[in-house]
Amino acid sequence: MKDLLWDKTLSVDVPEIDQDHRRLLELFNRLAHAVAEAEPQAEIEAIMDELISCTAWHFRHEERLMDKHGVPGRDEHRAEHQDLINSGRALQQQLQQSSRPPSAQEIEFLEHWLTGHIYGTDMAMGAHLAEVM
């Protein structure tokens, strides 16, 4: 499978956020490799847990910056974060309960889960933050 690679189209023009996003992409790639190479379930679960936890931490990072700089639309952005965390945790629970690795479709879901929000809502936030930071 192909790794998710960082490129300029993913940059939101705020270095500290870009850095978080790169880390999340790396974790996603580690997860996809672990699944492709049929690594032990415990290892896959540990990476999945790190991906979700780091994402939750990163969302709080963005929310702090948006609050500090009064970014318009931050309530909607925060709600989108909550939905993403809920859907990520729901998938994580399903996988844990059935002790199985993510399917190809679930990996694809996680890819869009990660990049869709960056390409959409985060770009608008970045455009505003890049002007005021």
Site for Fe ion, rule CB under 5 A: 62, 122
Least distance (Å) from Fe ion to the CB of residue 61?
A: 9
Phi (first) and psi of residue 62, to 5 degrees: -60, -40
Least distance (Å) from Fe ion to the CB of residue 76?
A: 11
Q: Closer CB to Fe ion, residue 48 or residue 71? A: 71
Name, in order, each residue with C-beta under 8 angstroms of 55's C-beta and a sequence gap of 6 or more: 24, 84, 85, 88, 114
Q: Closer CB to Fe ion, residue 18 or residue 122? A: 122
Q: Closer CB to Fe ion, residue 40 or residue 73? A: 73
Q: Closer CB to Fe ion, residue 56 or residue 107? A: 56
b/e per residue 18-35 (b: at least 16 CB within 10 A):
bebbebbbebbbbbbebb
Least distance (Å) from Fe ion to the CB of residue 107?
A: 21
Least distance (Å) from Fe ion to the CB of residue 85?
A: 11
Phi (first) and psi of residue 114, to 5 degrees: -80, -50
CB-CB contact of 71 with 52 (8 Å): no
Helix count and strand count (H, E) for the chain: 5, 0
